[in-house]
Amino acid sequence: MRARSDLLSGAGRPSEARRSRPKQAVPRMAPAQRKAMLLARASDFFAEYGLTAQTRALAEACGVAQRLIYRYFPSKAALLQEVYEEAIVAPFKAVWLVRLRDRSQPFETRLQEFYHNYYDAVLTRKWLRLFLYASLAEARMAPDYIQAIIVEILETIVVEAAHAQQVELPSGRDLRNEIGWMLHGAVSHFAIRRHLYEASRRVEVERILALHIRCFVTGFAAMAAEARACEGTT
């Protein structure tokens, strides 16, 4: 049972394929450029076929010999590490936090802007697939940057919501974050549904995001009250 990669490695006749481009496409590239190209293709490739997909199939997808990959990356593990940095960590933008805290805009507007950007930049098919493959730990390459970044986003959202609605928050940090996770989880799961399960495609993204945000904003005070109450119990 090979991974999905066998869909790729186009069946048979490697000799003919080789003979059909005898001295044509041999586009020799500068190292930096070539490495960037390999990395870009690799992130697409592993997102599609999983972290266990083979270097041979990747090389084929890049139109180069398998050996060339090892000129630019010492091992497959090292390549995966760079894929992780480039395709998982890099999409997060620091500006988002600043904009979320910009109280000159109404809170719900800020939320909409944020999740619009977040959905487009982070919650892509490629990002989700790589992140899930990594989390399922075919290789434990995912450190906890990501969780740390997301938690900071959650804290910001919850604090801003409380400020906007003049609501008192529970004192416990974890409980506070769980309030934020309600919205963030709903949106993340929407993206998973859409990009992985190929579902929820009939209604426009913007409408669904607006729906989720509206529910969160409306239910926020009730959540905070419930959280404070159960905090008293403990």
Chain positions contacting a second copy, by CB under 8 A: 1-4, 50-52, 76-77, 80, 129, 132-133, 135-139, 147, 172, 174-175, 177-179, 181-190, 192-193, 196-197, 199-200, 202-203, 207-208, 210-212, 214-223, 226-227, 230
65 binds DNA (CB under 7 A): yes
The answer to whether 194 and 200 have CB atoms below 8 angstroms apart is yes
Q: Which does 145 bind (CB under 5 to 8 A by kind): a second copy, DNA, none?
A: none
What's the burial of 213, exposed, middle or buried (CB within 10 Å: 0-12/13-18/19+)? buried
163 binds DNA (CB under 7 A): no
232 binds DNA (CB under 7 A): no
Tokens for 114?
């944020």
For residue 211, the minimal CB distance to DNA (Å) is 43
1 binds DNA (CB under 7 A): yes
Helix (H) or strand (E) holding 82: helix 76-84
Among 8, 39, 44, 70, binds DNA (CB under 7 A): 70
DSSP structure string for 44-79: HHHHHH-TT--HHHHHHHHTS-HHHHHHH-SSHHHH
| Window 71 to 100, contacts with DNA (CB under 7 A) | 71, 74-77
Q: Cα 189–124–62 angle (5° rounding)?
A: 140
Nearest to 113 by CA among 96, 94, 134: 96
Tokens for 75?
């091992």
Tell me whether residue 98 or residue 137 sits nearer to a second copy (CB atom): 137
| Contact pattern from residue 25 through residue 54 relative to DNA, giving x for each residue in contact according to CB under 7 A and a dash for the rest | -xxxxxx--x-----------------xxx
Residue that has been written with the tokens 């049972």 in this structure = 1
Q: How far apart are CA 122 and CA 189, in angstroms?
A: 13
- Contacting positions for DNA (CB under 7 A): 1-2, 5, 9, 18, 23, 26-31, 34, 52-57, 63-68, 70-71, 74-77
